[in-house]
Structure 1
Amino acid sequence: MGRAAAEHIPGGAERERVRALWRGLGLPGLIDVHTHFMPDNVLRKVWAYFDGVRGADGEAYWPITYRVGEDERLELLRGFGVRRFTSLLYPHRPDMAEWLNGWAAEFAARTPDCLHSATFYPEPGAADRTQEAIGAGARIFKAHLQVGGYDPRDPLLAGVWGALADSGTPVVVHCGSGPEPGPFTGPGPFAAVLREHPRLTAVVAHAGAPEYAAFLDLAERYEGVHLDTTMVFTAFTERWAPFPSAELPRLAGLGDRVLLGTDFPNIPYPYLEQLEALAGLGLGDDWLRAVLYGNAARLFGAPAA
């Protein structure tokens, strides 16, 4: 374990400050809808990608704060008081989604506090495999338009979006153009999906950064559209994609459809920073309680307090 990670193990000051924050709100804990558990070889490739990200000065820009083994990462989340979390995975080529879904199903079976997660890719049979995953107990899906490099309007995905909409199964969609744009990121392509599937329960990752206003528009237009807070409002993200202060009243008005997300463990700062950034918005304790726990509890079912 590296020094940075060692400073954040359960029992340390960070754990106690995280727990003090949600206890002070009268919550039984946290529900984090945007966390990543993956096969070890996949996660190491993800970490290698972030290791290669450099700032303007050439220095490492995205150090992984929680670069520890799977058991230690689970211990960290549980120590913070996270009652439910996800194992969001995403393919970048054909014939990968089915393998990832098999791994995620096995992980959920041995990790009861993890929401059974699944994914898909535009390829023949995608709709059937999505139906199979839902039937096998998948509670949440992930679509990553930037990494996957695919068009969400692809006809091969029509049945996928339809299956998710009909079943009410939420899907976390990375469709904003941050941190780097892709050929099908930005609000336009996914807005077209919503026009075809207006009942889809979608969670826009990173609140759509950096196109915050456009994704707020979609959330106001479609009652199934939610936003997750992943990395938003932290000092790290404010440097390259600041959330416009003029849009905070709209965010407050959508308080029943904003969900805590963090991107744990792939974050370049402590977990606590995300929570303190949300608390620092000044949108009120009721809003914060809903974001940190209540909204996700309604979507997925709350664990016993």
Structure 2
Amino acid sequence: MDESAAVRAIWEPLGIPGIVDVHTHFMPKRVMDKVWQYFDAAGPLVGRTWPITYRTDEADRLRTLRSFGVRAFTSLVYPHKPGMAAWLNQWAAQFASATPDCLATATFYPEPGAVDYVTAAIDAGTRVFKAHVQVGDYDPADPLLDAVWGVVADARTPVVIHCGSGPQPGTHTGPDPIRAVLARHPGLRLVVAHMGMPEYGEFFDLAEAYPEVRLDTTMAFTPFVEESHPFPPADGPRLLALGDRILFGSDFPNIPYGYLEAMRVLTEVNGVDDDWLRGVFHDNAAHLFGLATTAT
């Protein structure tokens, strides 16, 4: 059985119309090439050998996702310095316009004018933002972002945010800066990437305290992550209880294993049932982004 057929064999028996993957990366080619070079070099934010499984051109990557049955996905872009975000947003808007199954994505950075380009992105139809605290090396509670968080919260636009301290800690990673942001903006629809690894339990605390906080499954439970950042078995019941706020994410194409493994490991989590899997692979994100929950 080829990989596409094997992936479909996981979700099709669940009776869902496909997969919604909230954590995929499409970027300008020169940016993606630099990201891949960083992974190839096992840079300090990666800290280990990290082969890219789906190192193909953009058109082929789109065909691959669609062959798996992914019906909606993101183009998570993120800046690592001032002056990048507005340009990345322009590229991402054009990509989404040409790619109807992509949820229009944008990003931001703590810099003067950020609230203006974030407002413009929302007005232009952005469906989701990406924030990368580790790569951007900024404090999410930076005063330059306070108005940004306010605008995003008012618009009820989700933000996929890499804020946990895995795979390597950053200056501002961990739950405390996010706790400070949520204290000021409790209605923010944050989707904590990688389930907050390795601070899983502390980010579960935030999800339990703030009803709009969600977590994505990106890389969680895979052997690649379990050897360095294992999920604590004691938090298993909390994972199940938060099942309506867990969203599937893959990190495609920048994963060191196959897409099938990212899905298969979730089916093997202790205690999960078909209802939980339906929510995670499709329905939870479909509700969040206003997608139809049945096949058309």
TM-score when normalising by structure 2: 0.96
Q: Give the alignment's Cα RMSD to 1 decimal.
A: 1.4
2: distance between equivalents of 1:257 and 1:164? Answer: 19
| 1:177-196 aligned within 5 A | 177-196=165-184
2: distance between equivalents of 1:126 and 1:155? Answer: 11
What is residue 3 of structure 2 aligned with on the other side? 14
Shift of the alpha carbon at 1:122?
0.4
2: distance between equivalents of 1:77 and 1:224? Answer: 28
What is residue 188 of structure 2 aligned with on the other side? 200
What is residue 58 of structure 2 aligned with on the other side? 70
1:189-234 per-residue CA deviation (whole Å, 9 max, x = no partner) reads 1110000000000000000000000000000000010000000001
Shift of the alpha carbon at 1:302?
2.0
| 1:67-216 aligned within 5 A | 67-216=55-204
1:24 aligned onto 2:17: no
1: distance between equivalents of 2:256 and 2:141? Answer: 33
Task: Give the residue type in structure 1 aligned to 2:104.
Answer: H
Q: Which runs of 4+ in 1 moved over 3 A?
A: none
Structure 1: runs of 5 or more not aligned: 1-11, 55-59
Task: Give the residue type in structure 2 aligned to 1:298.
Answer: H
Task: Give the residue type in structure 2 aligned to 1:284.
Answer: D
What is residue 287 of structure 1 aligned with on the other side? 276
Partner-residue secondary structure (3-state), 2:252: coil
Partner-residue secondary structure (3-state), 1:173: strand
Structure 2: runs of 5 or more not aligned: none
Task: Give the residue type in structure 2 aligned to 1:47.
Answer: W
Identity of aligned residues (%): 62
Shift of the alpha carbon at 1:28?
0.9
How many residues get paired?
A: 291
Task: Give the residue type in structure 2 aligned to 1:238.
Answer: E
Partner-residue secondary structure (3-state), 2:131: strand
| 1:260-299 aligned within 5 A | 260-281=248-269, 282-299=271-288
1:45 aligned onto 2:41: no
1:242-289 per-residue CA deviation (whole Å, 9 max, x = no partner) reads 001110100100011000001000000000001100000141110010
Q: Which has the higher contact order (CA 8 A, sep 6+)?
A: 2
2: distance between equivalents of 1:300 and 1:83? Answer: 12
What is residue 33 of structure 1 aligned with on the other side? 22
2: distance between equivalents of 1:215 and 1:139? Answer: 23
